[in-house]
Each structure stands twice: as structure tokens, then as C-alpha cells.
Structure 1
């Protein structure tokens, strides 16, 4: 089962589609996911920000 929260530095949609089998369950064999194709062509609309580290 996939984690419920997207790790820092990752796209939430890509993370879900890569780690949750339910995301592509509705597709036939060898059928492309329209959302994934859109991501490949147009990039990521949102990336979870990484936490900044403080140096002393």
C-alpha cells in the first residue's frame, strides 16, 4: 500500500501513480494513462517543497 503523504521533492500525482495500483486499475493492458501522458508533455504542476536545513 502506498504512503498517504507525498515525500518532499516529489510530485503528488506522480508519487500516487507510481505507488498505488488503484491509479491505473481502470486502464486496459498497454493503454496509456491520460494524466501521466499530460505530465510527460507539460511537466509537474506542483512539487512538494523540501524542508530547509539550517546551518549554524
Structure 2
């Protein structure tokens, strides 16, 4: 599973790997996701340089 350029690794993994949230009870928020929503995405995978110019 590769993270697309320009995407946050944590957001991507938490969105597509169901095993991360499996341990949570029904309607329980993931503490990592909540902290990430409050503080933003600190790391983004670098985008590829545009070859247009």
C-alpha cells in the first residue's frame, strides 16, 4: 500500500487500514485521529516536481 504524493501518511493509513480502528468500541473516537484533526497534518509525502516548466 503506497501513500500517494501530497497525502498525509497518518490520514491515509488510518483511512484505509481497518485493523487500526478494530480495537475501538462502537462509537469510540480514535485518540490519534482526534489529535490529528485538532493539530493538523504535520507531515505530508512530497509531491513529484511538475515537468510542465
Equivalenced residue count is 53
Offset at 1:43? 0.4
Match for residue 13 of structure 1 among 10, 14, 17: 10
Q: Moved runs in structure 1, 4+ residues, more than 3 A?
A: none
Compute the TM-score of the two structures, normalised by the length of structure 1: 0.86
Whose RCO is larger (CA < 8 A, sep 6+)? 2
Q: C-alpha root-mean-square deviation of aligned residues, in Å?
A: 1.0
Contiguous gaps of at least 5 residues in structure 1: none
Contiguous gaps of at least 5 residues in structure 2: none
